[in-house]
Chain A
Amino acid sequence: MNIKEYIQSGIIESYVLGLADAEERAELEQLRMQHPEIGQAIQAFEKELEASASRNAVPVNPDVKANLFDQLGLKLNEEHSSGTEEPTVIPLERRGTTPFIKYLAAASVILFVISAAFNLYTYNKYKDLEAENRQLALQRDQLYAHNNTMQTKLDEMDKNMQLITGPDMIKVALSGVAGKESSQAVVYWDKNNKDVYLVAKALPQAPKGKQYQLWALMDGKPIDAGVLGNCNTICKLKNIQHAQAFAITLENEGGSPAPNLEQLYVMGKI
């Protein structure tokens, strides 16, 4: 069979318009599978018919579409009926995502507030501890200083103890004279190097401008042994080579060349 002649026989037009009988249709559909040009010819005529119908288009009353959709129970979108052929844009449901961000924001705000409160609390705590630490450091320094003082005192006491308990040390107790019975003092005199130490056991506070002065007595003559300055417990006084007794008088500040016997407080013999 000549396919070109077959195509031009009018069977294509008959088939497309739906006028071919069953026998003709069967024959065409079988040939169509073997000859692609038959399919192309069918398509070409279909397009011609469609183009012709479009050219001759007869506008339809809008009621027809309304009735049609009503009959089918379909919802008629006015945008389509008005001729615009743009697809309807359905806005995405945003409710699904928005709350999550809202919750997230709320959570972060809450966390921030908690964090800020905690930071404030921690800062105050830190300030308290810092002040406490400073106080403790100060107390520690004071204790160190105090300890040093005590240590010095102790060393001095120890030195004094060693001194007065030395084997060459002569202890002379000075007792209060008549009218000054409550006064007491002790003199330690080193036999070897002749150093003199005094412990004012009980002497009234010297009035202003006055100082106590120690005298060594040898053959009835007083020898200046020095004044009592601001010394702790044991005062080292002048070196005395010879003495038979010691006595203390209250003299003008700086001491006197000769004792004022009316101001004699204590005296003791060796």
Chain B
Amino acid sequence: MVALLKERDAGAFSYLYDNYAAALNSIVRSFIPDEQLANSVLQDSFVKIWNQASTFDSVRGRLFTWMSSIVRNTAIDTLRSKDWKNSRQNVELTDRNNEIAADDLLNIDAIGLRKVVNSLREEYKTVVEMCYFEGFTQNDIAETTGIPLGTVKTRLRKALIELRSRISNT
């Protein structure tokens, strides 16, 4: 399967899509509830999966993990892109309060990992939100929030352990 994919076998790619698109879509939707934009992100993700298949190394991890990583990066890149920010600015006010309000609005429809993250206590939620969903490095977070790097690391790990225990129940 992986070998065929690396040889750019369209049949294998079609099989891969049929088997994983819906599961990967749940990850996309945890970043982007909007169906139209999510579909675009999913499509872009599969374009990258197709083009970068040769770089996948089964020794380092599972195929699904590798694809999840591509989906996450694509979603973050899309959210950071100007078009998205501009369209968002057109709809909402730019001040911090309104942004938070918008986040709360999104949370109503939150699914998958996002839903679990939202259930975490605030200090865990913030670090996971920034790190996983917004793509900040732990260094970035320490600098942005003023929290020492060691504390950020500890919080993130504890948050993830908590997250994992809750994922099992979803």
Q: Which residues of A are in contact with B by a Cβ distance under 8 Å?
A: 8-11, 13-14, 16-19, 21, 42-43, 45-50, 52-61, 63-65, 67-69, 71-72, 74-77, 80-81, 83, 85, 87-88
Contact = CB atoms under 8 A, between A and B. Distances in A.
A80 B43 contact: no
Interface string B13-36: 111011101111111110000010
Contact of A59 (B25, B64, B137): B25
A246 B104 CA distance: 178
A52 B11 contact: no
Contacts of B156: 10, 14, 19
23 contacts: A13-B157, A13-B160, A14-B160, A17-B160, A19-B132, A46-B65, A47-B62, A52-B167, A53-B26, A55-B170, A56-B23, A56-B170, A57-B23, A57-B25, A58-B29, A60-B21, A61-B35, A63-B39, A64-B39, A72-B50, A74-B10, A85-B15, A85-B18
B106 to A, nearest CB: 15
B61 to A, nearest CB: 6
Interface string B149-170: 0000000111111011001101
Interface string B47-82: 100100000000001101100110010000000000
Categorize the interface residue count of chain B.
Answer: 35 or more
Contact of B47 (A11, A52, A71): A71
B98 interface: no
Nearest to A24: B153
B69 A46 contact: no
B139 interface: yes
A88 B50 CA distance: 20
Contacts of B26: 53, 56-58
- Minimum-distance CB pairs A-B, first 7: A10-B157, A13-B160, A57-B22, A80-B14, A53-B23, A56-B26, A50-B64
Main secondary structure of the interface of B (DSSP, over half): helix
Contact of A80 (B18, B131, B159, B161): B18
Contact of A75 (B10, B17, B42, B139): B10
B148 interface: no
Nearest to A88: B11
A13 B64 contact: no
Given A14-B157, A65-B17, A49 B65 contact: yes
Main secondary structure of the interface of A (DSSP, over half): helix
A17 B129 CA distance: 13
A257 to B, nearest CB: 137
B111 A80 contact: no
B138 interface: yes
Contacts of A52: 112-113, 167-168, 170
B35 to A, nearest CB: 8
A72 B157 contact: no
B14 A81 contact: yes
B14 A76 contact: yes
A77 B18 CA distance: 11
Nearest to B45: A68
Contact of B157 (A11, A49, A59, A88): A11
A55 B156 CA distance: 25
Contacts of A57: 22-23, 25-26
A61 B61 contact: no
Nearest to B131: A19
A13 B163 contact: yes
Given A56-B112, A60-B39, A68-B43, A49 B68 contact: yes
A185 to B, nearest CB: 128
A16 B14 contact: no
A261 B160 CA distance: 174
A111 to B, nearest CB: 47
